[in-house]
């Protein structure tokens, strides 16, 4: 009998990148592969909804007063101000997933990543995604065509600071060829799921049974 998955505590797979490097695209690809059984943590944010976004699926779009109430009552696992808006991760859905042995996927910035690493050092697996060039980063933000020119400039101005945080992460990858970047993410997820400390309980039972044979 293979090891029982439900005995493990889940992983928190965190993707961060400067705006436009492709973390939303890679997140979508990970979620589309149902066999991976990843669940996206849906953040709350005070930023305006983009036309392509659906409330409750991509984010929960809330007013600043509501954000402050959630933050002050400890409902957020982490939170940060990014590009002038507030973002945060509701704590309870994540705790429930991890307790069920299921893995959560976070698309959060470097400030939030630091907070999660401190609070969940065992569960957090962090990946920083770099663009192939600054020129391509700008081109992607312009091609995405969802933000105003001012918003794009603001995001590009923040990109250098964000990129300088790459050393805080467990893994770094360059999203040049999308499929290659996705394959790298799959390799990271697969290896992290196989790490011995994450499987100790279930493997111990399996080994006991193995050794009891004949």
Ligand X SMILES: Nc1ncnc2c1ncn2[C@@H]1O[C@H](COP(=O)(O)OP(=O)(O)O)[C@@H](O)[C@H]1O
Ligand Y SMILES: Nc1nc2c(ncn2[C@@H]2O[C@H](COP(=O)(O)OP(=O)(O)O)[C@@H](O)[C@H]2O)c(=O)[nH]1
- Please report, as ranges, the residues that interact with ligand X according to CB under 6 A: 17, 19-25, 140, 143-144, 175, 178
C-alpha distances (whole Å) from 178 to each of 25, 103, 137, 185 are: 9, 23, 14, 11
Residue 143, contacted partner among ligand Y, ligand X, none, CB below 5-8 A by kind: ligand X
Smallest distance from ligand Y to CB 163, Å:
12
Residue 46, contacted partner among ligand Y, ligand X, none, CB below 5-8 A by kind: none
Name which of 43 and 126 has its Cβ closer to ligand Y: 43
Name which of 116 and 130 has its Cβ closer to ligand X: 130
Residue 87, contacted partner among ligand Y, ligand X, none, CB below 5-8 A by kind: ligand Y
For ligand Y, which residue of 30, 36, 38, 80 counts as binding (CB under 6 A)?
80
Do 129 and 15 meet the contact criterion of CB atoms below 8 Å apart?
Answer: yes
Name which of 8 and 184 has its Cβ closer to ligand X: 184
Name which of 80 and 98 has its Cβ closer to ligand Y: 80
Mark the binding-site residues, compressed into ranges. Answer: 17-24
Helix (H, G, I), strand (E, B) or coil at 162: helix
Residue 89, contacted partner among ligand Y, ligand X, none, CB below 5-8 A by kind: ligand Y
Q: Should residue 108 be labelled a site residue for ligand Y when binding is judged by CB under 6 A? A: yes
Q: Which two tokens stand for residue 169?
A: 């992460």
Nearest alpha-carbon partner for 124 in 98, 99, 86? 98
Helix (H, G, I), strand (E, B) or coil at 44: strand
Name which of 152 and 189 has its Cβ closer to ligand X: 152
Helices (H), 33-90: 64-72
Q: Which residues of 4-35 are buried (b: 16+ CB within 10 A; e: fewer)?
A: eeeebbbbbbbbbbbbbbbbbbbbebbeeeee
CA angle 86, 11, 16 (to 5 degrees): 40
Binding positions for ligand Y, rule: CB under 6 A:
16, 19, 24, 43, 47, 78, 80, 82-83, 87-89, 107-109, 111-112, 155
């Amino acid at each position: 009998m293979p090891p029982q998955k439900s005995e493990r505590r889940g992983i928190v797979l965190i993707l961060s990148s400067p705006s436009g490097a492709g973390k939303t695209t890679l997140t979508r690809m990970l979620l589309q592969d149902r066999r991976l059984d990843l669940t996206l943590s849906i953040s709350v944010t005070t930023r305006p909804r983009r036309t392509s976004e659906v409330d409750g699926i991509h984010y929960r779009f809330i007013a600043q007063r509501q954000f402050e109430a959630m933050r002050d009552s400890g409902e957020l696992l982490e939170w940060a101000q990014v590009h002038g808006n507030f973002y945060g991760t509701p704590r309870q859905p994540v705790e429930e997933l991890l307790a069920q042995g299921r893995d959560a996927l976070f698309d959060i910035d470097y400030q939030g990543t630091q907070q999660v690493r401190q609070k969940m050092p065992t569960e957090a697996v962090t990946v920083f995604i770099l663009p192939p060039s600054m020129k391509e980063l700008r081109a992607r933000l312009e091609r995405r065509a969802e933000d105003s020119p001012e918003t794009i400039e603001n995001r590009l101005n923040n990109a250098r600071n964000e990129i300088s945080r790459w050393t805080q992460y467990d893994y770094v990858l360059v999203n040049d060829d999308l499929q290659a970047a996705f394959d790298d993410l799959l390799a990271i997820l697969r290896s992290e799921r196989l790490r011995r400390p994450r499987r100790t309980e279930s493997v111990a039972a399996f080994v006991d049974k193995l050794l009891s044979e004949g």
